[in-house]
Amino acid sequence: MILISCSKDNELKDVFVGGNPYNEPSIPYISVIKSEQINCNIVAIDIRINDQNIPDTLNYTHVYIKTPIGGPVITKKKKDIFMNARCDFENEFVLSLYNKDLQLNSSEVFYYFKTNP
């Protein structure tokens, strides 16, 4: 909740509260353009950052990927990103842009990959 006190009428006429650029759920900031199974427990992806969808106020330093097992992958790479996966399972990977200095993640993109034994 935001409370604002004004001393005059119409003092806030041209003022508005905007959304948080790190949490815009309707715009995909990242796309997976290629994926492949390296072995039963490893998946590699190539991504594209959709710069045209990113507001000027969203400053990111890395891509953050939550993996189904192990810790997250935090990278600046766009090609050959290797991630741990469960064997013979449909794995969910959650990708977002990440500002390491502010420790903020953008809205998330979900990507699913079924590994084969």
Residue-range domain boundaries for the chain: 21-114
Say yes or no: domain 21-114 is CATH 2.60.200.
Answer: no
Beta bridge partners of residue 66, listed in sequence order: 94
pLDDT tens, position by position, 64-85: 999 999 899 999 999 999 999 9
φ/ψ of residue 3, rounded to 5:
-110, 130
Return the beta strands (E) in 1-117 as ranges: 30-39, 42-49, 62-66, 73-75, 81-84, 90-99, 104-105, 109-114
Instruction: For residue range 16-75, list pLDDT tens digits in order.
Output: 555 555 565 567 899 999 999 999 999 999 999 999 999 888 999 999 999 999 899 999
Task: State the pTM of this model.
Answer: 0.78
